[in-house]
Structures are given as structure tokens and as C-alpha cells.
Structure 1
Amino acid sequence: MKDLINKLYRNHSIIYKGLLFIGTIFLIVYLFPKSGKFKYNFEKGKPWQSENLYAPFNFAVKKTDEEINKEKQSITDNAVLYFNIDSSVETKVANAFQTQFKNIFTDSIAEFDLDNLFNTGNKIIKELYQFGILNEDYKFSESKLVVILDDRVEKNKTLFSNLIKQDKVVAVIDKELSNQNLLKYKTSFVSLFFDLVEPNLSFDKSTTDKVLQEEFNKIVYARGSIEKETLIISKGEVIEGDKYQILKSLQSEYESQVWNQLNYNWILFAYTLLVALALLMLLLFLRKYRPDVFENNTKVTFIFFNILLMVFITTLVVNYNSKYIYVVPICILPLVFKAFFDARLGLFAHVITVLLLGFIVPNSYEYMFLQIIAGIVTILTVSELYKRANLFISVGQITLIYIIAYFAFFVIHEGTVETIKWETFIWFVLCGLATLFVQPLIYIYEKLFGLVSDVSLLELSDTNSKLLKELSNKSPGTFHHSLNVANLAEASANEIGANAMLIRVGALYHDIGKMKNPTYFTENQSTGINPHDELSSKESAKIIIDHVIDGIEIARKNNLPDRVIDFIRTHHGTSLVYYFYKKEKEQQKEVDKLNFSYPGPKPFSKETAILMMCDSVEAASKSLKEPTSTKIDAFVENIINKQIEEGQFLNANITFKEIQSIKKVLKHKLANIYHLRIEYPE
């Protein structure tokens, strides 16, 4: 049992990756749409490239969206409007008219006119309430059929134009008075009816909508059927008109039928295999070409998390409305990976993610083509993410590529630009704006996963930062040395294509441990007093060696990233504090080298190896007396060759050719620092 536990502990990293691999596969497959995939790809207006296609089963030919929308519009145009009537209003108004009429029209009016006026008033009431008076000014077509309901029972049918709007009451009064030659009483009549008339019709929206929906439900979405074994399309035949609609119907029917039958488990298994293959390719890529990333479980988790996040967001958008699919900023993925790793890994992971998304999105070929091209443009254009102008320019280029590619695809499919959906271009612009969110996202990822981007490195390289200010105050000589090393290391990194920003930051902080005992290091001894004179060689060596440990402690206390701390740990490798070792050896025959050796580890990357070379060369260059080009060349060669002989670079992925290039840079830089001139003959 103990052996099993030890074995599991030794292989915990691989076990974790396996669990992460399986978990990611499960989640991605779970997010996939629950449908099969039609095995044929086809496009409208293009020839059928596969063999002759026969109907595999009976299926209905669906109407096009245009046909269905046309039917719905026709039903909407001819839909009946329902109004509720309050029958008591007419009686109430008639009774009120009889009462008020006697008060307004006195006996001084001729009896004939009085009777005529009274009868005309009753006639006006009957005309106003024949169908009813509307309570609002509804904007319906005059030719719309109206059903009037009294307590939910149909009472009358008419056209909407026959219903009286409140602003038409005066016109009805005017018409009736004119017919009876009683216009001289118009003012009194209008005043009377203004107080009496009440609306009695209100629009019944719920009933109208319910009846309309019932009519929609009667729509037949199929316009025929295809029998099994019927030839649908022949090889080379152009896909257009009915042929295209039949193929679309078969595709829809096939996908729903396949998933709902007994093949469910097989399709699920097939999806799992494809997703596993895609993610396995990513893991194999990391293991072969990015072993440092593969060995770091946090970084592998970060990569898988981002891929899963993109699949999740895309699934949400597709389930909501697939027309918004291009709003999802997929190009954030290569930007993030390039910021934390490199362009090659960013592009590879982006392609894998787009291939997975092909199972989710409609028009998968078009989508994958657009996203892969956009990803390539992202990788090629964004060179320095920490420069805001570069990001804005790149986002503009990405958006332009989206628009051009979509326009080309649309013309290929439709053969015209007249029906192009211009709103899609707005989605691309929104996608570009969403891509700008990469800056705060990188900051969030740095805090969550403990990673370091160029943006953070730029902030750390500021010599006005708290820690570097403290270094310059406590150890001015060390600070000046660190600046010189940073310049040498940055130039060397640029020469061989290493991460210049990272190595500059590493160089600025590599000696911060000297702040603990600054006067024990020669560059800070301004008074001419050397405290080592009062110590034994072993004690002096310990103080010198401890600046590495002290530096790590200070760095962790100030929350410096691990990638920067690596430079502090490795900048002396396992080398000897040679001066005190030699001094001790002069006094004793047997000397333990471990007491005079740095704890290591040795440099394990190009950047840490470069820093070790530059640090040693810059520090030792202070001892050169009357430097010449010849002396500097020999001096650089001796120091770096000695480090090679000691095996300090065995763990770093740096070649002899690159070391030669670094030597050349250091020689040139030192020559400039010491202002060497050509030696003229005497």
C-alpha cells in the first residue's frame, strides 16, 4: 500500500493532467448540441459533389422561412379584431339626454323645432352607439373586420371604419343637424353631447392575440413529402430552388431522427472520441514543443480553462440566438495565449478551439474559415500587447478581415449583394470592441493563475517602483550594476530571439538580496573599508552566497512573480565564490567546496542563462585595468567558457551558436562602455 501511495505521489502531475483531460472532454461534450450531424456538406448555387443521393427514409419537405413568414403576414393582415362593449352605456346616455334636453332647450322654441330637435338627438345617440364609440384612438386599418363581444358573447360584426372615434362625434352631430335644417342649434347640441357621450368599446387584446395564435398554429410547415429511395439529387447537379429546400429538410429531419433513436449512445461516444483527439493533439504539442508549459500543471489548466470558456460562451449565444454568433470575441484566445506564452502555442490552441466550435455553430465551414483567418491575423499583427495603440490597430485589422471574408462568403452563396444582411457587420464591430476586453482579462488571469504577461513586466521594469527605489537607496552600487546588466542582457536577448522584456526585469531584480548586507559587496563600499577583513573566508562566503536566499525572501514578500524570482535563484547557478574559496585553500589543505558554492539551481532557460553570462561579465569587467579590444575579447571568452566547462548551461535550451552570438554582443557593448578607440601605430 505504501509503495502504491509513493508511486501515485511520484506521478501526481501526470494523474492530474489525465483527470483534467477527461473532465474537459466531459464538459465540452455536455455543452454540445443534442443532435446528430448530416454527413454531407452543401451550398446553395453550387454543384452536388457527393454521389447520387436517395432518400434514406420518408420525410416532409419543409417550407422556406420566406414562405412561412409570408403566410404569417397574410394571417396577421386578415386577422379579426375583438372589442368588448358595455351595453349599459347607450341606455345611460339616452336617459341622461332626456333629462338634460329639457333644461337646455326651453319652451320659447317653436314646438315643431323642439320635437324635431328631441327626435334628432335620439337619432344621433342611436347612430353613435349602433356599433359603439372607441375608448382610444386605435391605429388599425379601416378595412379590418371587427367582432364586438358582449360579456364574451359575439354581439355584432362590422368593419373597423364603422366604429366611432371620439373625435368623430361632432361630425355625426353636424351631419344629422344639417339633414334636419337645425344647424343653428349646433353649439347647444355639441355642448350637450360633450357632457353626455361616453365610450363603450375597448380593445380585447388577449382574445385577439389568442385567436391570431390559433390561426398561426394551423399553418402547415411542410409542402409535400419525399418517399424512401426517391432520388433527391444527382452528382454534379446544381443545388438551387426546390432541390436546396429538400436537402435542408432532409438535413433537419436526419439530425433530429438520428439523435432521438437508439444511436444516441454511439453518437455521444463519437463526439467524445473527436473531442479527445483534438485535446490530445494539444497535449502532445505541449509535450513535444513546450515541455516547460507541459510540466507546469497551472499553465496546462489555464489553457484548458480558456478553451472550455470559449466553448461555453459560444454555446450560450447559439442557444439564445445563433445570429449573434460573430459577437463572441474568439480572437481573445490567441491574444491571451500569446501574452502569457508565445505566438505558436496561441495559434495552435486557437485552431483546436475553432475545430471544436465547428460542432456547435451553424454554417460550420464558413465560421471556421473566418475564425482561423482572424486568429492568424491576430497572431501576425499584435506584436507588443502592452502598447495600447498596437492593440487598437490590430482589433481594427481583425474586424476588417471578418467583414471582407463574410462579404465574400455571402456573394458566393447568394450570387448577389442586394440581400446582404448589413446588421452582421455591426456584430463584427461589436466583436472587435469586445476583443479590447483582453487587457483587463489578462490582469484577472495574472491574479487567478499567478502568470506574468508583458504588461506586468513593463510595470515591474519601472525603476521608480517601490522595491527598485529601495535598492537604489540602500545599495546604489548594486542598483547601477543591475542597470548595466539589464542593458547587456536585453541586447543579448534581442540578438538570439529570447524574451527581452522578461530578461530585463529579471536583471533589474536579480541582486535585491544584497540590500540586507550592502557593504559586504564591493560595488557598495564607498568608504574604502572592507568588512570582510574582520571575517573568516567561510563567513564571508556565506554572506555572499546568502544574497540569493535573501533575494528570494524579499521578492516573495513583495509579491514578485515566480518567473522573475527564477532569475534570482539561478543567476549564479552552482558556481564557486572563487575569491574566498581560493583564500581558504591557501590556509587549509582540505576545503569543502559546498561551503563556497551557490545552492543553485543552474539556469534552465535561455533567459536565465543569458543573465548569468551578463552578470558575471559586467561584475568582473570592473577589475579590468587599461582595457583594450583584445583584453575585452579574451576576458569575455574566459568567463563564459569557464561557465560552460562547469556545466552551468546544461539545463538551459541554449545552443553554442547562440552563446557565440551573446559573446559578440557583450564584447561590442563593453567596448562601447569603456570608449575604446582604434590603436594607432606609433
Structure 2
Amino acid sequence: MKDFINKLYRNHSLIYKGLLFICTTFLIVYLFPKSGKFKYNFEKGKPWQSENLYAPFNFAIKKTENEISKEKQAIEDNKILYFNVDKTISVKIKSEFETQFKNVFADSITKFNLDELLKTGNVIISELYQFGILNEDYSFPDNKVVTILDNRVEKEKVLFSNLIKQDEVVSIIEKNLSNQNLSRFKTNFVSLFFDFVEPNLFFDESTTEKALQDEFDKIAYARGSVEKGTLIISKGEVIEGDKYQKLKSLQSEYESQVWSKSNYNWILFAYTLLVALALLMLLLFLRKYRADVFENNTKVTFIFFNIFLMILITTLVVNYNSKYIYIVPICILPLVFKAFFDARLGLFAHVITVLLLGFIVPNSYEYMFLQIIAGIVTILTVSELYKRANLFISVGQITLIYIVAYFAFFVIHEGTVETIRWETFIWFILCGLATLFVQPLIYIYEKLFGLVSDVSLLELSDTNSKLLKELSNIAPGTFHHSLNVANLAEASANEIGANAMLIRVGALYHDIGKMKNPTYFTENQSTGINPHDELSSKESAKIITDHVINGIEIARKNNLPDRVIDFIRTHHGTSVVYYFYMKEKDQQKEVDKLDFSYPGPKPFSKETAILMMCDSVEAASKSLKDPTSTKIDAFVENIINKQIEEGQFLNANITFKEIQSIKKVLKHKLANIYHLRIEYPE
């Protein structure tokens, strides 16, 4: 049992990755659509590449979206409007008219005129309330059919033009008075009617919309059917018109109905295999080409989390409305991975993610082509993410690529630009703007996962930071040495394409451990007194080698990232403090070399290897007397060749060709530092 527990403990890292792999696979499969996929790929306007296709079962030919929208528009244009009428108002108006009439018109009017006016008034009321007066002005066409409801019961159907608008009341009164030669009473009559006339027709929007929806529900979404065994399309035929619609109908029917509950488990199993295969490829890539990332469980978790997050966001958008699919800023993924790792890993993870998204999105081939091209452009254009201008320029280029590629696909599918959906370009612009969120996202990830990006490295490279200020005050010679090493290392990194920003920061902080005992290091000895004179060689060597351990402690106390601490740990590798080793050897015959060696480890990357070379060369160059180009060349060659012989670079992925390039840079830089020039005569 104890052996089993020990075995588990030794392999806990692999067990964690296995659990992470399984959990991510099942979470992604859970987001996938639970249906089968049509086994044929086809595009409108392209030839049918497969063999002759016969209908595997009976299915209906679905109408196109354009046909359905035209039918809906026709129903919308011919919809019936519903108005509620209040019959009590017309009865009340007639009663009030007779009462008010006697008060308005004086007894001086002849009985004949009085009777005519009363009769005309009743005619006007009948005309006004024959169908009714609208309660407000509506902008419906005059030829619209209107159904008048009395207590929710249909009373009659009329044209909208027959309904009286409130501004038409005066003209109806004037017309009736002029017909009876009573125009001289118009003013009194109009004021009389305006005192009590009120609308009695009210638009019933809910009933109108319900009736419209009932008509929409009657729309047939299919036109005709295809019998089982019927030839749908022959090999080589161009997919267009009715054949395209039959194929789309078969695809839809196949994905929605063919897969019964008995097939459900098989579909899930197949999806799980494909997702697991894709994620396994990513893990194998990390293990073979990015071993340092693979060994770090936090980094592997970070990669899997980002892939799952992109798939989750895309699934939510597709389920809401698939037309917004291009708003999702997928290009954030390679940007984030490039910021924390490198371009190659970023592109590989991006391609894996896009392949998985192909199971979720409509028009998967078009989508995957656009996103992979955009991902490549992202990797190629964003070189220094900490420079804001670079990010804006890159986002502009990504957006342009989206627009150009989408335009090309649309023309291929439709054969024309007349029906192009210009709003899709707005989605691409919004996607570009959303991509700018990568800057705050990187900051959030740094805090959550303890990672470091070039943006953080830029902040750490500021020599006015608290820790570097402290170094310059306590150990000014070491600080000056660190600045020189940083310049040499940065130039060397640029020469071979290494991470110049990372190596500059590593060089600035690599000797911070010397702050604990600054006077024991020659660059900080200004009084001419050497404290090593009072110590044994072994004690002196221990103080010298301990600056690595002290540096790691100071770095951790000041929350420096692990990537920077790696430079502190490795900048001397497992080399020997040669001066004190030889001094001890002169005094004793048997000397343990480990007592005079740095704890290591050896450099394990190009950047840490470069720092070791530059640190040794810069420190030793102070002992050069009367430097010349020949002396400097031999000096650089000797130091670096000795490190190679000691096997200090065996764990670093650096080539002999790159080491030669670094030597060349160091020789040139040292020549500039010592201002080598021809000697002028006095």
C-alpha cells in the first residue's frame, strides 16, 4: 500500500494532467449539439463531388428563407386590423345633442329652420357614428380591411378609409349644412358638436397581432416532397436552385430526425473520441516541443481553460443567434498564448480550438477558414504586445482579413454582390474592438495564474523600480554590472531571435543576491580593503555562491515572476568559483570541488544560456589590461568555450551556430565599450 501511495505521489503531475484532459473533454462534448452530422460537404454553385445521391428516406423539400419571408410579408401587408367599438357613446351623443340644441339656438329662429337644423344634426351624428370615430390618428393605408368588434364579437368589416378621423368632423358638418342651405349656422353648430362629440373606436393591438400570428402559423414550410430512392443529384452536377434546396432539406432532416434516442450514446461516444483526439494532439505537442510548459500543471491548466472558455462563449452566441457568431473574438486566444508562451504554441492551440468549433457553428468550412487565416495573421503581425500601437495595427489587419475573406466566400456562394449582407461587416468591426480586451485580460490572467507577459516584463525593466533602486544604493557596482550585462544580453538575444525583453529583465535582477553581502564582491569594493583576506577559501567561496540562493529569496519576497527567478538560479550554472578553488588547492592536496561550485541548475533555455555567457564575459572583461581587438576576441572565445567544455549548455535549446553569433555580438560590443580605435600621434 505504501509503495502504491509513493507511486501515486511520484506521478501526481501526470495523474493531474489525465484528470484535466478527461474533464475538459467531457465539458466540451457537453456543449456540442446532440445530433449527427450530415456526412456530405457541399457548397452552392460547386459541382457535387460524391457519387450519385439517392434519397435514403421520404422527406419534405423545405422552402428557402427568402420564400418564407416573402410569404410572411404578404400576410403582413394583408393583415386585418381589429377595432373595438363603444356603442353606448353614440346613444349618449344623440341624447346630449337634443338637450344642448335647445340651449344653443334661440327662439328667434323660425320653426322651419329649427326643425331643419335638428334634423341635420341627427343626420351628422348618424354619419359620424355609422362606423365610428377613431380615438387617435393611425397611419394605416386607406385600403386596409378593418374588423369592428362589439364586446369581442365581430360586428362588420369595412375599409379603414370609412372610419372617421377626428380632424374630419368639421368637414362633415360643413358638408351637411351646405347641402341644406344652413351655412350661416356653421359656427354655432361646430362649437355645439365639439362640446360633446367623442371617439368610440379603439385599436385592438393584441387581437390584431394574435390574428397575424395565427396566419403565420398556417404557413407551410415545405413545398413538395422527395420519395425514398429518388435521385437527388448526380456526380459532377452543379449544386444550385432546386437541387441545392433538396440537399439542404435532406441535411436538416438527417440531423434532426434520423438520430433517434437509441443512437444518442453512440453520437456522444463519437464526439468524445474526436475531442479527446484533438486535445491529445495538443498534449503531445507540449510534451515534445514545449517540455517546460508540459511539466508545469498551472500552464497546462491555463491552456485548457482558455480553449474551453472560447468554445463556451461561441456555443452561447450560437444558441442565442448564430448571425452574431463573428462577434466572438477568437483571435484573443493566439494573442494570449503568444503573450505568455510563444507564437508556435499559440497558433497550434488556435487551430485545435477552431477545429473543435467546427462541430458547433453553421457553415463550418467557411468559419474555420476565416478563423485560421485570422489566427495566422495575428501571430505574424503582433510582435511586441506591450506596444499599444502594434496591437491596434494588428487588430486593423485582422478585421481587414475577415472582411476580405468573407466577401470572397459570399461571391463564391451567391455569384453576385447585390445581396451581400453589409451588417456582417459591422460584426467583424465589433470583433476587432472586442479583441482589444486582450490587454486587461492578460493582466487578469497574470494575477489568477501567476504567469508573466511582456507587459509585466516592461514594468519590471524600469530601473526606477523599488528593488533596482535598492540594488543601486546598496551595491552600486553590481547595479552597473547588471546594466552592462542587460545591454550585452539584449543585443545577443536580438541577434538569434530570442526573447530580448525577458533576457533584459533577467539580467537586471540576476545579481540581486549580492545585496546581502555587497562588499564581498570586487565591483562594490571602493576602499581597497578586501574582507576575503580574513576568511578561509571555503568560507569565501560559500559567500560567493550563496548570492544565488540569497537572490532567489529576495526575488520571492518581492514577488518576482518564476521566469525571472530562473535567471537568478541558472546564471552561474554548476560552474566553480575558480579563484578560491585554486587557492585552496595550493594549500591542500585533496579538495572537494562541490564546496566551490554553484548549486545550479544549468541553463535550460536560450535566454538563460545567453545570460550566463554575457555575465561571465562582462565580469571578466574588467581584468583586461591594454585591450585590443585580438585580445578581446581570444578572451571571449576562451570564456565561452570553457563553459561549453564544462557542459553548461547541454540542457539549453541553443545551437553552435547561435553561440557563434553571440560571440560575434559580444566581441563587437566589448570593442565599443573599450573604445578601440587607431592610436593618434602626439
TM-score (norm 2): 0.97
Q: Is the 8 A contact 2:58 2:228 kept in 1?
A: yes
Residue 457 of structure 1: how far off its partner (Å): 1.2
C-alpha distance in structure 2 between counterparts of 1:451 and 1:666, whole Å: 31
C-alpha distance in structure 1 between counterparts of 2:64 and 2:610, whole Å: 66
Return 338-347 or 528-537, whichever deviates more. Answer: 528-537
Q: Which residue of 1 aligns with 2:218?
A: 218
Residue 630 of structure 1: how far off its partner (Å): 2.6
Q: Which residue of 2 aligns with 1:363?
A: 363
Q: Which residue of 1 aligns with 2:515?
A: 515
Q: Which residue of 2 aligns with 1:604?
A: 604
Amino acid at match of 1:13: S
C-alpha distance in structure 2 between counterparts of 1:527 and 1:680, whole Å: 35
Q: Is the 8 A contact 2:34 2:268 kept in 1?
A: no
Residue-by-residue CA offset, 1:317-347 (whole Å, 9 max, x unaligned)? 1111111111111111111111111111111
Residue 639 of structure 1: how far off its partner (Å): 2.1
Q: Which residue of 1 aligns with 2:331?
A: 331
SS at match of 2:259: helix
C-alpha distance in structure 2 between counterparts of 1:602 and 1:258, whole Å: 61
Q: Is the 8 A contact 2:573 2:598 kept in 1?
A: yes
Q: Is the 8 A contact 1:34 1:259 kept in 2?
A: no
Q: Which residue of 1 aligns with 2:544?
A: 544
Mark the runs of 5 or more structure 1 residues left unpaired by the alignment: none
C-alpha distance in structure 1 between counterparts of 2:364 and 2:46, whole Å: 17
Matches within 5 A, 1:548-627: 548-627=548-627
Work out whether 1:381 is the aligned partner of 2:384.
Answer: no
Q: Which residue of 2 aligns with 1:281?
A: 281
Amino acid at match of 1:642: K
Matches within 5 A, 1:282-297: 282-297=282-297
Of all paired residues, the percent bearing the same amino acid is 88
Amino acid at match of 2:603: P
Q: When the two structures are aligned, how many residues end up with a matched partner?
A: 681
Residue 509 of structure 1: how far off its partner (Å): 0.5
Return 544-553 or 560-569, whichever deviates more. Answer: 544-553
Q: Which residue of 1 aligns with 2:139?
A: 139
SS at match of 2:262: coil
Work out whether 1:271 is the aligned partner of 2:271.
Answer: yes
Q: Is the 8 A contact 2:34 2:267 kept in 1?
A: no
Q: Is the 8 A contact 2:482 2:507 kept in 1?
A: yes
C-alpha distance in structure 2 between counterparts of 1:128 and 1:526, whole Å: 112
Residue-by-residue CA offset, 1:426-471 (whole Å, 9 max, x unaligned)? 1111111111111111111111111111121112111122221221
Q: Is the 8 A contact 1:484 1:618 kept in 2?
A: yes
C-alpha distance in structure 2 between counterparts of 1:259 and 1:679, whole Å: 89
Residue-by-residue CA offset, 1:92-131 (whole Å, 9 max, x unaligned)? 2122212211111110111111111111111111111111
Q: Which residue of 2 aligns with 1:59?
A: 59
Work out whether 1:37 is the aligned partner of 2:37.
Answer: yes
Residue 582 of structure 1: how far off its partner (Å): 3.0
C-alpha distance in structure 2 between counterparts of 1:657 and 1:669, whole Å: 19
Matches within 5 A, 1:93-492: 93-492=93-492
C-alpha distance in structure 1 between counterparts of 2:334 and 2:67, whole Å: 42
SS at match of 1:263: helix
Q: Which residue of 1 aligns with 2:631?
A: 631
Mark the runs of 5 or more structure 2 residues left unpaired by the alignment: none
Residue 664 of structure 1: how far off its partner (Å): 2.4
Q: Is the 8 A contact 1:258 1:264 kept in 2?
A: no
C-alpha distance in structure 2 between counterparts of 1:667 and 1:156, whole Å: 103
C-alpha distance in structure 1 between counterparts of 2:183 and 2:241, whole Å: 67
TM-score (norm 1): 0.97
Amino acid at match of 1:293: V
SS at match of 2:385: coil
SS at match of 1:148: strand
Residue 592 of structure 1: how far off its partner (Å): 3.7
Residue-by-residue CA offset, 1:512-539 (whole Å, 9 max, x unaligned)? 1112222222111222222333333333
Q: Which residue of 2 aligns with 1:10?
A: 10
C-alpha distance in structure 1 between counterparts of 2:230 and 2:627, whole Å: 93
C-alpha distance in structure 1 between counterparts of 2:534 and 2:221, whole Å: 99
Residue 504 of structure 1: how far off its partner (Å): 0.7
Q: Is the 8 A contact 2:573 2:599 kept in 1?
A: yes
C-alpha distance in structure 2 between counterparts of 1:321 and 1:594, whole Å: 67
Amino acid at match of 2:639: I
C-alpha distance in structure 2 between counterparts of 1:66 and 1:617, whole Å: 74
Return 83-92 or 635-644, whichever deviates more. Answer: 635-644
C-alpha distance in structure 1 between counterparts of 2:221 and 2:490, whole Å: 69
C-alpha distance in structure 1 between counterparts of 2:470 and 2:660, whole Å: 36
Q: Is the 8 A contact 2:34 2:264 kept in 1?
A: no
C-alpha distance in structure 2 between counterparts of 1:283 and 1:197, whole Å: 83
Residue 261 of structure 1: how far off its partner (Å): 4.3
Q: Is the 8 A contact 2:148 2:154 kept in 1?
A: yes
C-alpha distance in structure 1 between counterparts of 2:435 and 2:83, whole Å: 52
SS at match of 1:146: strand
Return 638-647 or 504-513, whichever deviates more. Answer: 638-647
Amino acid at match of 1:121: G
C-alpha distance in structure 2 between counterparts of 1:39 and 1:446, whole Å: 43
Residue-by-residue CA offset, 1:626-678 (whole Å, 9 max, x unaligned)? 22223222322222233223322222222233223222222222122112235
Residue 495 of structure 1: how far off its partner (Å): 2.2
C-alpha distance in structure 1 between counterparts of 2:64 and 2:589, whole Å: 97
SS at match of 1:262: helix
C-alpha distance in structure 2 between counterparts of 1:497 and 1:143, whole Å: 76
C-alpha distance in structure 2 between counterparts of 1:233 and 1:656, whole Å: 61
Q: Which residue of 2 aligns with 1:642?
A: 642
Amino acid at match of 1:556: R
Q: Is the 8 A contact 1:613 1:640 kept in 2?
A: yes
Return 626-635 or 611-620, whichever deviates more. Answer: 626-635
Residue 589 of structure 1: how far off its partner (Å): 4.1
Residue 591 of structure 1: how far off its partner (Å): 3.7
Return 650-659 or 235-244, whichever deviates more. Answer: 650-659
C-alpha distance in structure 1 between counterparts of 2:269 and 2:594, whole Å: 58
Residue 240 of structure 1: how far off its partner (Å): 1.6
Q: Which residue of 1 aligns with 2:19?
A: 19
SS at match of 1:141: coil
Residue 314 of structure 1: how far off its partner (Å): 1.0
Residue-by-residue CA offset, 1:70-105 (whole Å, 9 max, x unaligned)? 211122222111111111111221222122111111
Residue 410 of structure 1: how far off its partner (Å): 1.0
Residue 590 of structure 1: how far off its partner (Å): 4.2
Q: Is the 8 A contact 2:133 2:165 kept in 1?
A: yes
C-alpha distance in structure 2 between counterparts of 1:583 and 1:96, whole Å: 128
Q: Is the 8 A contact 1:124 1:176 kept in 2?
A: yes
Return 478-487 or 150-159, whichever deviates more. Answer: 150-159
Amino acid at match of 1:71: E
Q: Is the 8 A contact 2:604 2:652 kept in 1?
A: yes
SS at match of 2:390: helix
Amino acid at match of 1:308: F
Return 549-558 or 498-507, whichever deviates more. Answer: 549-558
